[in-house]
Amino acid sequence: IPPCGSPSQIAHRNSEAEAQHISLQNMKIFLGALAFSFFAKGFSGSYMKSMSTQIERRFEISSSVVGIIDGSFEIGNLMVMILVSYLGSKVHRPKVIAAGCLIMSFGTFLSVMPHFLMGRYNYERIQLTEENSSTSIISFLLQISSSETYFQKCKYVFPTGCEKAASSYLWIFVLMGNLLRGIGEAPIMPLGVSYVDDFSKEENSAFYIGTIRSCGMVGPTLGFLLGSFCANLWVDVGVVDLESLTINPKDTRWVGAWWLGLVICGAVSFLSSLPFWFLPYSLPKEGDERNLKKLSESSLMLLCVTVPSLMSRCVNTQLSFPDFLPTLKKLLGNPVFLVYLFLTILQYNSMVGLITFETKFMEQQFNVSVSRAIFLIGVILLPITILGMFLGGFIIKKFKLHITGMVKFGCATFIAAYLLNLLYFTCDCEVLQVAGLTVSYSGFVFLSSSCNSDCSCVLNQWDPVCGDNGITYMTACFAGCKSSIGTGKNMVFHNCSCVQVEGLESGNSSAVLGQCQRESCTKTFPYFLALLSTCALILALGGTPTYMIMFRSVSPDLKSFAVGIDALCGRILGGLPAPIYFGALIDQTCLKWGTKRCGGSGSCRVYDTKLLNFIFFMKSQNCLQNKNHFPNTAVSQGETRKLQN
């Protein structure tokens, strides 16, 4: 720019000295703010994932509908991702990120609304009719005659005050809130990562991005821990006497305080937006003070309004929307990026389905409560993943790996994880034994048998009891029980004619509330967790190098666009359909559906764990196969030498 005595040019030159002093500080502030925004979106996203089972049970919906709610987040990303990524450095990136964080916050608060619009949660259970509800069960048993038992005076009823039809669709608020979260999160990754890569040294870029992503993984860790805490609290905590409950967190009818954590997530998202409002449009290239005298295109555009003589040069630096298709064609013409994009789509299909329903799988397969499954993911699985991602970025920086080294390193990690994944079948577990459903009474798999034929049991009831023989019965009625002692969780049923125990006469056995525990499954769970953690560490090690291959395969002016297209295609073709069809597959494994208060099927109570395990195993294998192909393909394309040169 030729020297000029205009006030605007003099002011600009005077500001260069100050910019030299604070440039490094601004980069650190941006890195910290971006890391916190990654934390906020990971915190909210993981909490929503951890609450999928609670939302399914609270709104009495199927897993496929939960998949639609989860997929709405990807729809929100789709709506704005192309625009945000294409604009790239042509907008004030920090302020766009700030606006996105505010939208995330609003969407999270919107998802909380159904809790305050719906009535209290009344789970499916057997209770006294109104004429006998004024006395306790113990008092009631003392009043009844020997010819009229408790089960003759009681019947299965739904809680009074049938829920309004409109309340059945309040899950749409959660869907819309998730959609807004997707819109708000869209600019954080492409604009934030490209901002860091534009203004940092090339050798530091991978380390910075790896560190930011690692900091971002702290969010999911704390999100899952918060989810574990809230899942262990009753949904109507503070307004319901917990002593009156007959179920515990291990019961498939239990609903945790899913709404409580969303309030915290919304506040965190709001706080993450604040630093970005005060950050500059651009920064000088890290470590190169001379760049301050050579204004970048971004700085040049800022001077357009004050230096009319530069107008003609400013026009040439800005891309118009008609350039979109040629730019996209240029990007997709890169064979390495095209292969990476295709395999990213396949990976998204595998990973999103697994993550969305991981807690359900642990609960059904290994007999652990949802809150414990969420807790273990948060304190074991995610920290190991963070460590792997950080080490992956550190290895690139330490050994200064180029494309060839990244390819070899990524290939080795994915092959190792693929081989370890084959051991998942050794952690299989038997299906829950439910009389008349998965095991027979006397050689016939029917709910009714001669031992309970006089009880007139209703077939769609689900208030399970565990007999002395280790078999679960759908209700005490199906167990043929004649009497009971105790109240609430401590109720014990006696004289159960269907519970056959070796050494006892028929009809002298008892049953307790709740499903039977599968001890063999509980013993297998630590081995499964160790295997899962090892695979996660190995995959995380190769994740950052593989991600950087995509960065190094495109020209600098297309980096932001490439990140956006990668995220967009992964979400629209992977993240969006995967939870829906994966949830539909899980629904097909359901053996017993719950019943809604106003009739119709609710959420699933019992799954075929053999089939469920097969679905999860095939999903995880598909993920590893897809990722393992990319490093080999990158080498075969002959792009390595081009990129290194």
Residue 155 above 70 pLDDT?
no
Of 8-12, 67-71, 134-138, 204-208, the poorest mean pLDDT is in 134-138
Highest average pLDDT, of 105-114, 298-307, 424-433, 582-591, comes from: 105-114
Task: Considering only residues 317 and 407, tell me which one the structure prediction assigns the higher pLDDT.
Answer: 407
∠ CA 570-573-579 to the nearest 5 degrees?
95
Tell me the C-alpha to C-alpha distance, in Å, between residue 468 and each of 246, 474, 503, 517: 19, 15, 12, 12
Q: What is the mean pLDDT of the chain?
A: 76
Output Rg (C-alpha) for the chain, integer angstroms.
29
The pLDDT confidence band at residue 13, using thresholds 50, 70 and 90, is low
Nearest CA among 286, 104, 285 for reference residue 179: 104
Residue 165 above 60 pLDDT?
no
202-209: long-range pairs with CB below 8 Å, 24+: 203/397, 203/400, 204/286, 204/397, 205/551, 206/393, 206/396, 206/397, 206/544, 206/548, 207/393, 207/394, 207/396, 207/397, 208/31, 209/393, 209/544, 209/547, 209/548
Kindly report the backbone phi and psi dihedral angles of residue 603, in degrees, each rounded to the nearest multiple of 5, phi listed first. Answer: -85, 160
Tokens matching residue 65: 């509908």
Kindly report the backbone phi and psi dihedral angles of residue 505, in degrees, each rounded to the nearest multiple of 5, phi listed first. Answer: -70, 150
CATH class for the region spanning 7-122+158-306+327-430+520-644:
mainly alpha
pLDDT at 230: 94
Which residues in the chain are classed under CATH 1.20.1250.20?
Answer: 7-122+158-306+327-430+520-644
Name the DSSP letter for residue 365: H
User: Can you give the pTM of this predicted structure?
Assistant: 0.76
Query: For the segment 228-277, what is each residue's pLDDT rounded down to a tens digit?
Result: 999 999 999 888 888 888 888 888 889 999 999 999 999 999 999 998 88
d(CA 22, CA 92): 19
pLDDT at 301: 34
d(CA 31, CA 25): 10
Query: For the segment 451-493, what is each residue's pLDDT rounded down to a tens digit?
Result: 877 777 877 788 899 988 888 998 888 888 888 888 778 889 9
Q: Do the beta carbons of residue 374 and residue 224 sit within 8 Å? A: yes
